[in-house]
Chains A and B, each alone.
Chain A
Amino acid sequence: MARRAEPPGHAHISLEVNGEPVEVSFPPHKTLLEVLREDLGLTGTKHGCELGECGTCTVLLDGQPVLSCLVLGVAAAGRKVKTVEGMARGPELHPLQRAFADLGAAQCGYCTPGILLAAEALLERNPRPTRQDIKEALAGNLCRCTGYIKIYEAVELAAAWMRGEDAAPPEESIYGRR
């Protein structure tokens, strides 16, 4: 079968995005962030500073969190990319997503996709993180709304659920002190 002709100067790569094989072509100076959003229609990954200074563009590359604004699309050839769109299983949210929603760990939500992926990579390596482990793992993700406390609590709650524990959020984190 004949290959679709590429515009001159375009790169054509195969990679795996959220578990599915994907082929895409684009000018070689595009970042992975731009390729995901503009060529693959995956706008869940957000763009913030685009200079490595905020973490909102975080995706997993071969399981490791990276800043997609500073990775070239061509450098993802043959590799596995995971974005926030790959977290839910069908209609069922990932435990981290559920915990973030339940605890109000997302306010404007702009930092959330990057934080969810950074947190997922942490829990993959360390199912029982301390508060300090969580702070360190998320030290590359800025949030201008929540003040981070809700985010740490949500990661702790999700971690407990993922370990199979029947955990509930502390009443205080939902209703405040009564």
Chain B
Amino acid sequence: MLRLPSFRYLEPRTLKEALRWKSESGPESMYVAGGTDLYPNMKRRHQEPKVVISLARIRALRPKGRSRKAASGLTLAPMMTLTELVESEGIRESYPVLARAAELISTPILRNMGTLGGNLCLDTRCNYYNQSYEWRKAINFCLKKDGAICWVAPSSPRCWAVNSSDLAPVMVAIGADFLLVGPEGERTVAAADFYQNDGIDYLSKHPGEILAEIRVPPRDGWEATYWKLRRRGSFDFPVLGVAAWVRWEEQKVAEARIVLGAVASQPQPVPEAAAAIIGSRLDDEAIEEAALAAFRPSKPMDNTDFGLAWRKEMTRQFVRGALKELRSKLVE
């Protein structure tokens, strides 16, 4: 059987206790939420923490009956399961893009376990990394763990493993903020600054910090959608995600953000594509220009599923499709 390495398991009841135990256990410790990313990784020996600190029993991280909705937006608890997110009436009504992205994640059973916070802190992925210890050993490992070379880009000094979260690009596109609580106190970071384009050092979060709240801006005239490309209709991580967000004012696009998922080590904004639709009524020409602007810089790497040329072409198709969907919602 594929077993977990041995570790000490702690279940703090408060944030303070969790932070204290984390600093006492040092760098050989990790937090766990639903465990659907960390435990498979530990079984493959990607991470081998000596101490695992569960966030499951900390009330302050659980959804408080109803998620808080105010004029300033919606606050979500990181320990909300993906099923809770998908089934929340409030979210389906006011923030359908979140429910849409969440229901495309993996399978209904995994969504009963996986959490929003864990999804946003997901480890990056690569065909040469998400393999058993023996498999990785047979290729003499790689830069991301235990080895010295990147098999995807052998002359590159960095790791190109992919951010494969379905919710991360959506959070960046809609401009969410994350509250981090650490030993030094609290800070708020924009979702866009939470991620870094490095397969090994992919979060700006310090290892001791806990993602404690996700703050989603109020619905003041914006519309957003998310499109996901994957091989099967279930189970699979995205090979491409397109999160598109526009603010609609006076029958025109006043502001826009287009963010690609699963193509870089961070959710990848494409400002050129967004610029192409600003000021437009999302007419066909503007959409075509945006799709082309997203297609041009798209350079899929050979570390996920499907062929490279087809994946690049799908960037154009999906940006076009997502923007047409937004037009159908916005233009009377």
Contact = CB atoms under 8 A, between A and B. Distances in A.
A and B associate in one complex: yes
Interface of A: 11, 27-31, 34, 47, 50-53, 55, 58, 64-67, 70-72, 74-75, 118, 136-137, 139-142
B309 interface: no
B7 A28 contact: yes
A50 B44 CA distance: 11
Interface string B297-320: 000000000000000000000000
A62 B7 CA distance: 26
B52 to A, nearest CB: 8
Nearest to A114: B109
Interface residues of B, number: 27
B317 to A, nearest CB: 24
B6 interface: yes
In the complex, which of the residues A52, A67, A74, A118 has the most CB atoms of chain B within 10 Å of its own CB atom?
Answer: A52
Contacts of A75: 54, 56
Contact of B36 (A34, A52, A64, A136): A52
Ranked nearest first, the 9 interchain pairs of A and B with the lowest CB-CB distance are A140-B107, A140-B109, A139-B234, A50-B2, A51-B40, A28-B9, A29-B4, A29-B6, A65-B109
A50 B7 CA distance: 18
B5 interface: yes
B35 A70 contact: yes
A53 B1 contact: no
B110 A52 contact: yes
B113 A71 contact: yes
A140 B5 contact: no
B207 interface: no
Given A72-B9, A75-B56, A140-B234, A51 B112 contact: no
A29 B7 CA distance: 6
A29 B5 contact: yes
A56 to B, nearest CB: 11
Given A28-B7, A29-B5, A139-B234, A50 B108 contact: no
A70 B113 contact: yes
A136 B108 contact: yes
B187 interface: no
A66 B40 contact: no
A120 to B, nearest CB: 13
Contacts of A34: 1, 3
A74 B235 contact: no
Contacts of B2: 50-51
A71 B109 contact: no
B107 A55 contact: yes
A51 B43 contact: yes
Interface in B80-109: 106-109
B233 interface: yes
Contacts of A64: 112
A53 B56 CA distance: 23
Nearest to B56: A75
A61 to B, nearest CB: 8
